[in-house]
Structure 1
Amino acid sequence: MSVPAEVRRLPNQPGVYRFRDAEARVLYIGRATQLRSRVASYWSDLRDRPRLRRMTPLISAVEAVVCDSVHEAAWLERNLLRRRKPRWNRARDGQESTVHIGLEEGPSNPGLKVLYSPGPGYFGPYLGGARARNAVSALHRIRPLAYTAARLTGAERDMAAARGVTAADRAALATSIRAILARDPAELATARADLIAARDRASSNLSFELAAEIHEELEALDWIVSPQRTATLEPTDLSAAGWSNGILVLFRVRAGRLDEWTQRPCPPERAKRYLTATPADWRDFATRNAELAASLQ
């Protein structure tokens, strides 16, 4: 089967795609690291995926949302499936667990913890417990806050000495970690550079297993700090709209989750009220996805 022309117009960026049949019913929702490559694969050899091979001839329209990261795409797919699972999707939630990261700054037990329930001051939410734990390991490697506790065991005191930290460094390390988790660009750049330097030192010392471990930690840190607006800890409700070439795209956020995405033909005069009500920090996201929707018509 040849790849439809609209699929070739998809960008090779992270995002979520949706297939509809001739009666505009949603067949399937999926996520992609590279939208064009992933969606085009449905028109390739699907002998190892007989279920999808049966679905592909039913596809009449392709829709997509470009996301700012793979993590954001994973959340959007999860939210949409939780709200309404199409016939050809098998799972409603995906395989990743929802976790949060808690930062303790007090002298008795400073450090980071991966938690499965949200709480005041926590960071997240994140998808993937293993990734979050690797990210915490990455931060401990470069910002060893746990070794600044008021009471340490003998082994912990030795590690603190080896890492060159004392209780006097507690506030500065906690501030740096907080800024990293809050996606501060300068702190993120420094953290990545520190991890890359640690990985390269391990590799130079022929400690290849350690180098691989640090590389996994670096990827995990990138995952949790990547741009992500489709799930937040704030119970926000809002609507965001974008319009392009006669197509209106609407996104609805309920209790901090973007879980509804619709698009339809709409004249500019009717689109104005939706566009006016769109929060400023959502306009770019909504507009570029309206432009994508119009290009796929």
Structure 2
Amino acid sequence: MASSPHSPELLAQVAALPALPGVYRYFDAQEQLLYVGKARNLKRRVSSYFQKDHGGTRIGHMVGKIVRLETTVVRTEAEALLLENNLIKTQHPKYNILFRDDKSYPYLKITGTAAQDGQGAAPSQRFPRIAYYRGSTDKKHRYFGPYPSAWAVKETIELLQKVFRLRTCEDTVFVHRTRPCLLYQIRRCTAPCVGHVSPQDYAADVADAQALLTGETSTLLAQLQQRMLLHADKLEYEQAGQIRNQITALAKVLEQQAMESSDERDVDILAVQVQGGRACVNLAMVRGGRHLGDRAYFPSQLDDALALVSASPQAGVEEEEEGGGGLRSAQAHILGAFMAQHYADQVLPSAIVLSDEVDPLLLQALSEQAGRKVPAITQPRGQRRIWLDLAQQGASLQLTRLLAEEGSQQQRTRALAEALDLPQEQLDALRIECFDISHTAGEATQASCVVFAQHKMQSGQYRRFNIQGITGGDDYAAMRQVLTRRYQPVAEALQAAGGAELPANAPRLPDIVLVDGGKGQVSMAREVFEQLGLDVSRIIGVEKGEGRKVGLEELVFADGRPKVYLGHDSAALMLIAQIRDEAHRFAITGMRAARARVRTGSSSLEEIPGIGPKRRARLLQRFGGVRGVANASEQELQTVEGISAQLAHDIYRALH
């Protein structure tokens, strides 16, 4: 302890820790969160990191960076585990296994509740609609899911349309219909908008659809058959024929569902595969007895995290105390990390089928969180075994595909580094920023900046810049503005450092600054860099070749080097084209959105003084959307309840 590189204050804090369960967090000198861990005994667990020299191992590298410690004491180990993974999910520490946060699972939504008597509610409320939905759920509507993909939701909606003919139109469309739409003609809707079905009959169809979505298929078929016979006994052959058609359509769909199992409800199947330094967790979902497909997840920071776990002091001791029987496998660690992070904000299904055993403490914590015991099956039989085998096969295929793609991308990065005579030792750290300008005849000019690093596009680091104060259509002035705004902070940071090493959180210059353009754009970029005192050799332009044909592009350098033609089949050119096309796509989508805001009125209804939720809803319902409101005259706006002449004038002025 005497030769420790850590401060006496930190070591004193470690020595004073209580022997209680809790969570600890390590920070470096730049206040970056290094690691989050849990412990049954904080004092013993944290002290073990500082009681010996770990040498040049990954854990030694991490421990050497620790300058600050934070701890949180909790009541139980289960609470510690949940808090640990909530912090990992929200704070993204450098040495923990991380899974991409997926808050946007899609759901199938059935709006409101069908009124049994058809009275006391608006028409749109008496006839609920089925819809695709993403976002937080509430108690006003009923939600089914989550589903693994948008495709799975839309396929289910098509099924409900075929069998029960429920409406899918927006309320603003529904209340203004005067005749049935095409969906009625092709027998995908019963046209409640024009009264072709009673509220009672529609409510029965909604109840049947909910029964199908919850897996009550056998009961549903029996009920439909009974209703069909009752209508036949009453000589109501038309109604009996409609129910017969429903039974036929439903039976056909269920027959096509090769993986349908009537004795299952909601089950998640989790399979993990590890290969080539990467891992894949494949999540397959069964909802209402129907297998809806799967979704693959690929954790990041895998090598550091697994090495840290396996070399971590006292890890084996703690796991033996917890009943783990020694260090668990890498697959079990990855699977446990996924479950802890994924189910932190997802509803737990009635059962989980697993390819590997996970820490019993995790299952206990998840059960406490759900308020019920969640069965975890690692040796499934029958249909569950089939599901698990397919999930494992899917994980293997997805991992093979990822490794192939990463190998190809790394080859492209290496080819580009060779073509530009860049160092080959640190290709993982190679960073490219690419800029593009987009507008329509000078309207809504935007610049995009996309980032390529670690052999892939880093969409989380993309940026858009609204270009203002220039002549419309002047791409050179737009490029000057965006480069100045992007790199002036870099120049200021370098000047403040005075030749010393930049702090870890300081803005940095990328290895390559790519501009979509030839000599003109490159010259403009060089002027900006010279004014800021930055290295112009990093600027490269992509000049279109003869006839502007793809594959004939040439690279133009700001430092005066001769142009380079890479060849149409060059891996380096493929990478350049990929980055340039992504910059163009990102700029185009931003420009179109900005142009749409300009053309429909940049001010939204919510931003107009005097327009609250009720008045906004009346306006949208009356005119069918924001565009309809924008197209309305002041006199037409005054016809809406609660809109005075002055307010109509304000709305018109704000949207024009």
Q: Which has the larger radius of gyration?
A: 2
TM-score (norm 1): 0.33
Query: Which structure's relative contact order is higher, taking Cα pairs within 8 Å and 6+ residues apart?
Result: 1
- State TM-score, norm by structure 2: 0.17
